[in-house]
Structure 1
Amino acid sequence: MTRAGRAGIAALVAGAFLLAGCTAAPDADPSGRESAHPALAPDGLEVSLLQLRADVAPRQAQVHVVNDTPDTLVVGAVRVEDPRLDGPAARVVADRTSRVAPGGVVDIRVQLPGVSCPAPADAAPIVVLELLDGDGAVTEVEAPAAVALGFLAPLHERECRAQALAEAADVSFTDFEPGAPGEPARLELTITPTGAAAATIVGVQSTNLIGFDAETVDGAFPVDVDAAVGDTTPIVVDLPLVPFRCDPHAVQEDKRGTIFDVRIVVGGEAGEIERFVGEDMRGRILSWVAAWCGFGR
């Protein structure tokens, strides 16, 4: 880094510390030490939160950082704080740094923790960034984050519904048997009631890649299983799968083809949860689709 660049970063960091001193008094942490609140991000540094299709299964998101300041920024640790999350979302690769030139952008992947239920209706994410200068000095700045496509609110609602369902039953995909070309495969859904609460598993929706070799109700294979209070006997439902499409790029670029929306009723409220088949079963299902469709023949 040039001397001018180091001076620019030092000025930005110093300004952030000055702003922190003007906007927030130190708080004592549980260890008895004092820690300052992060400073407000400098003008021109903007952040937003987004989730791509490839981020859904591993429960990740990306912090989109736009640097419209006159200085190159080096971003260290990143965390996203939101009352809907049961802790901060932090960098997937913890020790990595990201250099963002003036006018540049960077996407930093973060791992989403579990959700916190319930949460305030006006909950909104704050992103905290560590900025490093050329001498290794670090300061934290924070900024409110816009949420692209509003993915966080539906995720919170869906996962809180899944938590409520877990009190009544475990619902998971437990086996897969491929079918010969032209014949359906079998995906096994196992519902194991806990006996502690009640819920109804209404149906399983088709995905963008996979449908059902059976009559559906509003696009869902009917399950209609009640998990009753006091019942702990597992119930196995076989789903007859057929590919919904056979264009090769749909399989090669698949991101959500093996994530199924499951319709449920819990606590008297109808809704949906997502269930992923798991990485091993995903590979087996995609291989079956390729064979079923005759790719490579």
Structure 2
Amino acid sequence: MRGHLARGVGARARGLAAASAAALILLAGCSATATPEASAPAGLPAGVTVQLVQLRSDVAARQAQVEVHNGTDHDLTIGAVAVRDPRFAAPAGRVLERESLVRAGGTVDIRVQLPAMDCGVSDSGAGSVRVDYTAGAGDVRAEVPIDDPLDFLGPLHERECRAEAVTDAAALSLASFTPSPAGEAADLVLEVKPTGRGAVRIVGIQTTNLLTFAAGPGSTADTFPLGVAVTATDAAPLEVHVPLLPLRCDPHAVQEDKRGTIFTVEVELDGADGQIELAASEDMRGAILTWVADWCGFG
């Protein structure tokens, strides 16, 4: 009898153990299914649209803005944002880590910092944006395509990758600025430092919306000729002096300036013509704007 009892207890114990194991497997399966990371990102609510734009005020800082329009009847709170594009070396994230409230029917621009460009890919591609948002009581992660309606990414990728290629032959920088009295040209110095690894021809520098140049041989209304040829055998740095003048003297042009100290430089690389951009440093930008105001008599 004790043997039958022992066998009965053992059978019940084995049955309970099997049932417990099955329950644990079932719970584990439910837990894995419920984990947010295991599910694909959702889409945005119907009526919510996004697009990537770059305003003039974003250019110098290499930033852009994710424009979120909330066409629903409910408010949205936007958290983390990450813009992905095959031309980016990394995702573009928010400049400030914060949340943004987008009211029903409203539009909010979320500023993102553009990453370095991947110059090993084509200058065309389709981007997407991952958005963490809260609608009602739920937190949602969505990933959707994002448009570039102003078509700024393609030219930016081309320009910056050309600048990277130019840097293989020579490093270009705006080295110094010396202001001048009214009626005379200031001195802007472009420094060229050959690397000894390649060749490039620096053809000219273009006027900006705020600045132009004193006339010189070969000058046009828009371009001051530089004519600097760098070869793989060059080593000594070269300074090119550019005679700078204000293009306009209306005060609001200085007060509202966004791109007045970003210069377009014409180059020839591997037999192909192109352009790169050189921006004045913040200190130099301030000095140039102060000079324009003084030169024009409203400083």
**Residue 278 of structure 1, CA deviation:** 0.9
Q: Tell me by how many angstroms 1:41 deviates.
A: 2.0
Query: Secondary structure of 1:78's partner?
Result: strand
2:43 aligned partner: 40
Match in the other structure for 2:202:
201
| 2:197 paired with 1:214 | no
Cα distance in 2 between the residues matched to 1:36 and 1:213? 63
Deviations 1:153-200 (A, max 9, x none): 111110010111111110110000001111000000001010111111
* Structure-2 residue corresponding to 1:294: 297
- Give the corresponding residue for 1:78: 81
Letter in 2 for 1:97: E
Per the alignment, residue 131 of structure 1 pairs with: 133
- Asked if structure 1 preserves the Cα contact closer than 8 Å seen for 2:208 and 2:261, the reply is yes
Aligned residue type for 1:257 = G
Q: Which residue of 2 aligns with 1:156?
A: 157
Structure-to-structure mapping, 1:26-175, within 5 angstroms = 35-94=38-97, 96-120=98-122, 122-133=124-135, 138-175=139-176
Larger Rg: 2
* TM-superposed deviation, 1:211: 0.3
SS of 1:257's equivalent in the other structure is coil
CA deviation map 1:52-95 (0-9, x unaligned):
1110000000000011123211100111100111101100002x
Query: Runs in 1 of length 4+ with deviation above 2 angstroms?
Result: 33-38, 118-122, 132-135
For 2:6, the equivalent position in structure 1 comes to none
Please tell me the residue identity of whatever aligns with 1:140.
R
Q: Which structure 1 segments of 5+ residues have no match?
A: 1-25, 27-32
Q: Distance in 1 between matches of 2:44 and 2:271?
A: 44
1:174 and 1:232 map into 2 onto residues whose CA distance is 18
Query: What SS class does the counterpart of residue 233 from structure 2 fall into?
Result: coil
Residues 88 and 288 of structure 1, relative CA distance in 2, 3 Å threshold: same
Q: Among the aligned pairs, what percent are the same residue?
A: 51
SS in 2 for 1:150: coil
Report the equivalent of 1:17. none
1:23-54 Cα shifts (integer Å, max 9, x gaps): xxx9xxxxxx9654422222211001111111
Query: What is the root-mean-square deviation in Å for CA atoms of aligned residues?
Result: 1.7
Aligned length: 263
> Is the CA contact 1:128–1:141 (under 8 Å) kept in the aligned structure 2?
yes
Q: Which residue of the other structure, out of 216, 241, 244, is the alignment partner of 2:244?
A: 241
Equivalent residue for 1:7? Answer: none
Render the CA deviation track for 1:239-286: whole Å, top value 9, x for unaligned: 000000000000000000000000001122110001001100000000
Residue equivalent to 2:30? none
Report the Cα offset of residue 121 of structure 1: 5.3
Mark the CA change 1:121 to 1:190 in structure 2 (over 3 Å): closer, same or farther. Answer: closer
SS where residue 150 of structure 2 aligns? helix
Could you say what secondary structure the match of 1:249 adopts?
A: helix
Uncovered stretches (5+) of structure 2, i.e. residues with no partner: 1-32
Normalised by the length of structure 1, the TM-score is 0.85
- Equivalents in 2 of 1:287, 1:163: separation in Å? 32
CA separation in 1, counterparts of 2:124 and 2:221?
A: 33
Letter matched to residue 270 of structure 1: D
TM-score by length of 2: 0.84
Distance (Å, rounded) in 2 between the aligned partners of 1:274 and 1:52: 16
8 Å CA contact 1:118–1:160 kept in 2: the answer is no
- Shift in Å, 1:133: 4.9
Distance 1:159 1:37, change over 3 A: farther
Indicate conservation of the 8 Å contact 2:128/2:146, yes or no. Answer: yes
Judge conservation of contact 1:46–1:143 (CA < 8 Å) in 2.
Answer: no
Comparing 197-206 and 212-221, the one that deviates more: 212-221
